Amino acid sequence: MKRLASLLAIAALVATACTSSSSTPAPASGGTLVVGLNGDMVFADPSLVSDGNSLYVGANVIQGLVGLKPGTISEVIPVLATDLPTVSADGKTYTFKLRTGVKFHDGSDFNAAAVKFNYDRWKAYTKGDLQDNAYYYGAVFGGFGDASNISSVDASDATTVVINLKTPQSNFLLASTLAVFGIQSPTALQKDNADTTPLKDNKYAQGQGESMVGTGPFMFKSWTPNDSIVIVRNPSYWDSANAAKLDQVTFKPFGDSTATLQALQSGGIDLAFSISPLDVATAKGAGLTMIDRGASCNQLNLDINQSVGGSPTIYANKSVRTAVAEALNKDSYVTAFYSGLGKAPTGFMPSATTGFKTETLPAYDATKATADLKAAGLTADQLTVDLYYPSNVVRPYMPDPKGIATAIANDLTKVGFTVNLKTEDWKGGYVSDATGGKFPLYLFGWTCDWAGADNFLYTAWFGYQDNKPNAQFGWANDQANTLMLKALGEPTVDAANADWGQVQDLLAQDLPMVPIVNSQPPGAMSSKVHGFVGASNGIEYFNTVTVTK
Amino acid sequence: MLRFIVRRVLGAIPVLFGLSVILFLFLRLLPGGGPAVAILGQHATPQLIAQINETQGFDHPLYVQYLDYLGRLFRGDFGASVIDGRTVAESFAIRFPATVELTIGALIFAVGLGIPLGRLAARHPNSWIDGVVTAISLFGISIPVFVLGYTLTFFFAVQLHWLPAFGQIDPRLNVPPVTHFAIIDALLAGNWYVVDAVAHLILPSIALGSIPLAVITRITRASVIDVSNEDYVRTARAKGLTDRRVNSRHIMRNAWLPVTTVIGLQVGALLAGAVLTETVFTWNGVGSWVVTSIQNHDYIVVQSLILIFATIFLTVNLIVDVGYAFLNPRIRYS
Amino acid sequence: MAALPGSVAVVPTRRISRGLWHDAARRLLRNGPAIVGIVFIAFFVIAAILAPIIAPYSPTACTLSDGIHGPSPAHIMGTDLQGCDEYSRVLYGARISLTVGITAVFFGLVGGVLVGAIAGGAGGIVDGVLMRIIDVLLAVPGILLAIGIVAWLGHGEIQIVLAVGVSYAPIFARLLRGSLLALRESDYVIAARSMGASPVRILLRHMLPNALTPLIVQATLAAATAIIDVAGLGFLGLGPGDPRVAEWGEMLTDSARFLQNAPYLILFPGAAIVISAIGFNLLGDGLREALDPRLKR
């Protein structure tokens, strides 16, 4: 066995010998970083995905006009644009000045025509496979084709792009930072026809051959489904000061947190995008470096539905909702399930979100909760409640759904409820039943797409659907809905934020959900990895990273 | 013999057909929002789910969907995943070799260790050696595979750093996937990378092989003892043949029969065990694929995979039966 | 799961009399390993029955802030993530785990006996059709069948019992049918037939009692696998829905992630599963030898 190990070591040396001969512990350039992801990429065309793994890889290869400052969740910086766009007074025209001398990985030029090509391509996505997968374009711009809020994109000269909106859209700039709006090479997109449907025949999306051709510090090299995704250094990156130092990053999908941690400890991978918060102590003890994810961009709630199947639930009574909120010892959940990496919310969104307003939420007080519940005058029958939690899923805000649900059930039992714990598979009915309004009391949360109030309050939760209150909550409040629509259409972010503030006041008044935690999902890396900047919105860049031998 | 094989092959067809119908109905009647939820994740609102079900044809009448599926199946088209658009054939070509390697590794472990252990125990029945062997085999079938897997990884990969913790080969070696058999690919890549591929196979093979090991040990012990008590073995001994000769010429030759049958049966158990083992060791094989596909309601993939699993299982059993007939000429198939 | 370990059909050749049962019981009690098996099982059965008396704490009244403490005088097996006393949960867990394992096998046995008896008794087309269906089920690796059934029926103890039971039924059915076919040609059945006994009577009075002995052996061995399979389902996220109910499989799978920082949470429920599985295996082997004296040496 020892001999085997030494042979292995030799093999590893052979593999890395060509990269660097430096023996100093100082950070050196070159080398391969192996990153453990939570799952595989879905498509090698970021415009067709909405999952975290695809975008995590994609953001290192493909860049947009604007992006987020590394490590932040709402600080917009220009990327392929030279500056942030100038906006017309009516909020309908955004003008971007583009960088010059930027080339795509296939050698073709990046210019205004390329930007226009991409924006026009997304808008023209046909019904079926393309629209079904390109969630974000539809969600941000209200639909495809004529339904899109983008009326036209003009390439007025080689370095100027003008985006014309039909109506003002206060989230335009922040949403534009999404990795799905990265600009890909028109030459490459046209070569294999990246718009081919069905997607099983789409070589570009499948990552076979020339795919994911952008302008980023890394270039897409290969993708063996469910085994590995390889990106390599772009030797002619336009921003030489921030060019990639590593030769290669290999992403490896993992399906299980115990396996991920053991892979990291055994040295098989260098960095794990996420580890279970319950493993933080073990990871630290094993000499691993924890990834600091900074401000939270997610929220777990105990969702309450005031109307299930058309009839009001016991939660339609505000004192019941208040009693539920007061019964929960959120701080104890943060300690037990998140290893302290998170905190109980101080409002209805993570506090770093644009437009966040601090609100006073009911504090943990089991005695008061018991009294409030008594005052509500429920029968014993009504006090027997179902609490739903999802199985077969781990979300950044919900590392152990079963455990948290058990703790909540125990807390609710202490104030006078009789709780039946029920579960469904996340994909096998849980999400559709929750959003379809079938659960009265259940765990649900949201990881921000972009860190704006609209993304949490309107998209995720309380926006009316088909002019009716979201079935997920059964919370009818026309005033809040009108305010939210007004905020979305404000020409400036500041004007919108004033509206969002009022919406949050209404939420605090009515308490239609119980925020539980904003978490900072932990990741970990070997002590040999340097220069990594974590962020809690799921986009992290590897160009600054080095590995010591 | 040929007639027997033909009859068995023809007999498998209605079985597979019945399976395809059951699978189809079963999958389409699963509760939940269908594959749309797997595509949309947290964005799965009832409106978007309905939209995807419509455009992807999941709201068509069941018989239309089934005939459609069957039609494509007859043309040799296993369809494509609804989630990542990859054809089943393409993914299968990547993942099946991994499962084959793992299964063979586990069989080598189970047979290579099980038969000697069984013979050893049979040679000293009811002694302490027999006791130890029995204890090992009892432990092997009584410990859940995932507990064994994690524990092995913890000791040999995390603590001792002797063996790798996951996957088929070190991703840092950049071995180009040609055949997707990690060992063959590593051989093609040269540089003794094959050592790394073999090292990756050891722990998963032990975890997956633990149950077959127990079964094979027990059956070997039992049949060796059985044969040793037969008259012709006693006669051979009485004639003064050496133990060694009696062992190889008389006992093992006959004891092989039940052992072969059991090894064949274990292939089914190995395919089932691979479901858990591949998850524990992040092994990119068919076992973990079928689990995620069931969870994703990825209808086409699950249907095709289970059909393939069943076909493999039936084929292996057929081969075992035929092999049995060769080993034991006394059996005549009518 | 598809092929139960050690499944060797034992087809008795004589009609079972009271004397044979008596002999079998005597042989069983002389079989050292089988006694060990009985002791292991009895240990957990007693623990299950006495749990409310001997358990120091309630298995469900837990304090989150007391979570993950190693063994101490107050909690001899430590506390789990929810702050529950692990020892009390292992004791109470015996109730659910043994019940689930045994009921699952019982369901499988009932289903298998029904199908096997009809097929083996009726023969002809009925036999052909039923056996093809059994072939279909046997061709699917058992745990996949169970995964599918839980995915369909939803989470819960009853669902798991059904899922594991259904995945065993085909094995029992095929075993029983095989024995019945062999018995049909046996002397005393032919004799009974020639004396004019009705086919149903022959099946119920003469064939089934004999054909059941290999099933009893197989079922005992299956009880061992069932307990492990339930744990496996839990590992794949398909455990019973209410985690407050103590169940070994769920306790074990929930603790797999504590392998490094709280290994005792794996050790105790894991040991309970392994020991009870070994118990059923030893008993099954003992029964096999006891019921088929030919194997006794």
The mean pLDDT of C35-50, rounded to a whole number, is: 94
- For residue A534, which of A348, A353, A341 has the smallest C-alpha distance? A341
Most confident stretch, B161-175, B221-235, C17-31: B161-175
Closest residue to C228, CB basis, from B142, B218, B219:
B142
CB contact under 8 A, B166 and A34: no
- For residue B153, which of A8, A268, C235 has the smallest C-alpha distance? A268
| Chain B residues with beta carbon closer than 8 angstroms to that of A4 | 162-163, 195, 199
Half-sphere exposure of A305 (CA within 13 A, CB side): 24
Q: Angle at the Cα of B41 (from B37 to B44), degrees rounded to 5?
A: 60
Alpha-carbon distance of B179 to B185, in angstroms, equals 6
- Tell whether A402 is within 8 A of chain C (Cβ): yes
CB contact under 8 A, A132 and B86: no
CB contact under 8 A, B32 and A200: no
If pLDDT is split at 50, 70 and 90, which confidence band does B141 have? confident
Instruction: Report the residue of chain B nearest C296, measured CA to CA.
Output: B226
If pLDDT is split at 50, 70 and 90, which confidence band does C228 have? confident
**A519 φ/ψ angles, rounded to the nearest 5 degrees:** -105, 155
Q: Is C225 among the domain residues?
A: yes
Q: Which of A260-264, B173-177, C133-137 comes out lowest in average pLDDT?
A: C133-137
**CB neighbour list of residue B105: distance below 8 Å, 6 or more residues apart:** B201, B202, B204, B205, B208, B209
pLDDT at A413 exceeding the cut of 60: yes
**Regarding predicted confidence, which is higher, C148 or A226?**
A226
**A396 φ/ψ angles, rounded to the nearest 5 degrees:** -55, -35
- Tell whether B308 is within 8 A of chain C (Cβ): no
Residues 232-261 of C with CB under 8 A from B: 232, 235-237, 252-253, 256, 259-260
- Tell whether A34 is within 8 A of chain B (Cβ): yes
Residues 342-401 of A with CB under 8 A from B: 392, 395
What is the per-residue pLDDT for A133?
92
Strand, coil or helix: B299: helix
Instruction: Report the residue of chain B nearest C6, measured CA to CA.
Output: B215
Under a CB-based contact definition with an 8 Å cutoff, are residues B175 and B193 in contact? yes
If pLDDT is split at 50, 70 and 90, which confidence band does C119 have? confident
Half-sphere exposure of A190 (CA within 13 A, CB side): 7
Tokens of B274: 């691979």
H/E run at residue A331: helix A330-338
**CB neighbour list of residue B29: distance below 8 Å, 6 or more residues apart:** C152
What is the per-residue pLDDT for B93?
92
CB contact under 8 A, B41 and A51: yes
Work out the percent of chain B whose per-residue pLDDT is above 90: 30
Tokens 């039966």, located at residue: B321
pLDDT at B129 exceeding the cut of 50: yes
What is the per-residue pLDDT for A438?
94
Q: Angle at the Cα of A426 (from A44 to B94), degrees rounded to 5?
A: 40
What is the per-residue pLDDT for A392?
84
Under a CB-based contact definition with an 8 Å cutoff, are residues A531 and A540 in contact? no
Which string of DSSP letters, residue by residue, matches A152-196?
EEEEEETTEEEEEESS--TTHHHHTTSGGG----HHHHHHTTTT-
Alpha-carbon distance of A276 to A257, in angstroms, equals 6
- Tell whether A32 is within 8 A of chain C (Cβ): no
Q: What is the dihedral sign for C-alpha C122, C128, C133, C139?
A: positive
The mean pLDDT of B309-331, rounded to a whole number, is: 72
What is the separation, in whole angstroms, between the first and last Cα of chain C? 30
Task: State pLDDT tens for residues A359-378.
Answer: 999 999 999 999 999 999 99
The mean pLDDT of C91-114, rounded to a whole number, is: 91
Alpha-helical runs (H) found in A148-192 = 172-175, 186-191
Residues 276-295 of B with CB under 8 A from C: 276, 279, 290-291, 294-295
Under a CB-based contact definition with an 8 Å cutoff, are residues A421 and C239 in contact? no
pLDDT at C98 exceeding the cut of 50: yes
Alpha-carbon distance of A8 to A4, in angstroms, equals 6
Q: For residue C242, what is the domain's CATH number?
A: 1.10.3720.10
Alpha-carbon distance of C104 to C230, in angstroms, equals 10
CA–CA min distance A154, chain B (Å): 31
CA–CA min distance A386, chain C (Å): 11
Tokens of C135: 């072939």
pLDDT at A127 exceeding the cut of 60: yes
Alpha-carbon distance of A44 to A33, in angstroms, equals 20
Under a CB-based contact definition with an 8 Å cutoff, are residues A225 and A518 in contact? no
**Regarding predicted confidence, which is higher, A492 or A1?**
A492
- For residue A34, which of A276, A244, A288, A252 has the smallest C-alpha distance? A252
Strand partners, A248: A32, A232
If pLDDT is split at 50, 70 and 90, which confidence band does A15 have? very low
CB contact under 8 A, C257 and A278: yes
Tell me the C-alpha to C-alpha distance, in Å, between residue A255 and each of A174, B167, B284, C148: 31, 12, 11, 20
**A354 φ/ψ angles, rounded to the nearest 5 degrees:** -60, 125
Range of the domain at C231: 33-49+87-292
- For residue A468, which of A284, A275, A243, A310 has the smallest C-alpha distance? A310
Q: Give the Cβ contact number of residue C19 at 10 Å.
A: 8
Tokens of C93: 């867990």
CB contact under 8 A, C65 and A279: no
If pLDDT is split at 50, 70 and 90, which confidence band does A20 have? very low
- Tell whether A82 is within 8 A of chain C (Cβ): no
CA–CA min distance C263, chain A (Å): 12
The mean pLDDT of C216-238, rounded to a whole number, is: 86
- Tell whether C6 is within 8 A of chain B (Cβ): yes
The mean pLDDT of C180-198, rounded to a whole number, is: 80
What is the per-residue pLDDT for B37?
81
If pLDDT is split at 50, 70 and 90, which confidence band does C11 have? very low
**Residue of C8, C132, C136, C253 to mutate when probing chain B, most B C-beta within 10 A:** C136
CB contact under 8 A, C67 and A336: yes
Residues 109-138 of B with CB under 8 A from C: 125, 134, 138
Task: State pLDDT tens for residues B25-47.
Answer: 877 777 777 788 878 888 888 88
Tokens of B33: 């929002």
Q: How many helices (H) and strands (E) does chain B have?
A: 14, 0
The mean pLDDT of C21-29, rounded to a whole number, is: 82
Closest residue to C64, CB basis, from A281, A405, A407:
A407
Indicate the residue type of C83.
G
Q: How many CB pairs under 8 A join B and C?
A: 134
**Residue of A196, A226, A473 to mutate when probing chain B, most B C-beta within 10 A:** A226
The mean pLDDT of B175-186, rounded to a whole number, is: 92
CB contact under 8 A, B174 and A34: no
**Regarding predicted confidence, which is higher, A425 or A291?**
A291
Alpha-carbon distance of A380 to A464, in angstroms, equals 34
CB contact under 8 A, A135 and B164: no
Under a CB-based contact definition with an 8 Å cutoff, are residues A392 and C237 in contact? yes
Q: Give the Cβ contact number of residue B83 at 10 Å.
A: 22
Every domain of chain B with CATH number 1.10.3720.10 lies at 97-296
Most confident stretch, B9-18, C6-15, C187-196, C258-267: C258-267
**Superfamily of the domain at B97-296:** MetI-like (1.10.3720.10)
Task: State pLDDT tens for residues A74-87.
Answer: 999 999 999 999 99
What is the per-residue pLDDT for C19?
65
What is the per-residue pLDDT for B328?
63
- Tell whether A305 is within 8 A of chain B (Cβ): no
The mean pLDDT of A159-165, rounded to a whole number, is: 97
Instruction: Report the residue of chain A nearest C61, measured CA to CA.
Output: A410
What is the per-residue pLDDT for B329?
58
Q: Is C59 among the domain residues?
A: no
Residues 264-303 of A with CB under 8 A from B: 265-269, 286
pLDDT at C13 exceeding the cut of 50: no
H/E run at residue A96: strand A93-97
Tell me the C-alpha to C-alpha distance, in Å, between residue A87 and each of A168, A491, B313: 10, 9, 65
Tokens of B64: 């239309």
Q: What pTM was computed for the model? A: 0.88
CB contact under 8 A, B40 and A42: no
Alpha-helical runs (H) found in A257-328 = 257-265, 280-285, 318-327
CA–CA min distance A545, chain B (Å): 17
pLDDT at C275 exceeding the cut of 90: yes
Alpha-carbon distance of B254 to B242, in angstroms, equals 18
Q: How many helices (H) and strands (E) does chain C have?
A: 11, 0
Alpha-carbon distance of A208 to A44, in angstroms, equals 9
Q: Is C16 among the domain residues?
A: no
pLDDT at A27 exceeding the cut of 80: no
If pLDDT is split at 50, 70 and 90, which confidence band does A457 have? very high
If pLDDT is split at 50, 70 and 90, which confidence band does A447 have? very high
Task: State pLDDT tens for residues B218-227.
Answer: 888 888 888 8
What is the per-residue pLDDT for B330?
56
pLDDT at C15 exceeding the cut of 80: no
Please report, for chain A, the start and end positions of each structural domain, with discontinuous segments joined by +: 2-290+522-547, 298-519
* Mean pLDDT of the residues in chain A: 92
Under a CB-based contact definition with an 8 Å cutoff, are residues A79 and A65 in contact? yes
CATH architecture classification, A298-519: Roll (3.10)
Tokens of B133: 């062997």
The mean pLDDT of B260-289, rounded to a whole number, is: 83
pLDDT at A5 exceeding the cut of 70: no
**Residue of C30, C129, C135 to mutate when probing chain B, most B C-beta within 10 A:** C135
Task: State pLDDT tens for residues A472-511.
Answer: 999 999 999 999 999 999 999 999 999 999 999 999 999 9
Instruction: Find chains touching chain C: ≥3 CB pairs under 8 Å.
Output: A, B
Tell me the C-alpha to C-alpha distance, in Å, between residue C100 and each of A421, C51, C113, C253: 19, 17, 20, 16
Q: Angle at the Cα of A398 (from A393 to A402), degrees rounded to 5?
A: 65
Q: Are strands A441-447 and A523-525 parallel, antiparallel or unpaired?
A: unpaired
- For residue B272, which of B135, B88, B152, B106 has the smallest C-alpha distance? B106
pLDDT at A527 exceeding the cut of 80: yes
pLDDT at B105 exceeding the cut of 70: yes
What is the per-residue pLDDT for C147?
79
- Tell whether C271 is within 8 A of chain B (Cβ): no
Fold of A2-290+522-547: D-Maltodextrin-Binding Protein; domain 2 (3.40.190)
The mean pLDDT of B139-160, rounded to a whole number, is: 90
H/E run at residue C160: helix C157-184
pLDDT at B317 exceeding the cut of 80: no
The mean pLDDT of A192-207, rounded to a whole number, is: 91
Q: Which of A114-123, A126-135, B253-262, C110-119 comes out lowest in average pLDDT?
A: B253-262
Q: Which of A439-443, B130-134, C142-146 comes out lowest in average pLDDT?
A: C142-146
The mean pLDDT of B181-210, rounded to a whole number, is: 94
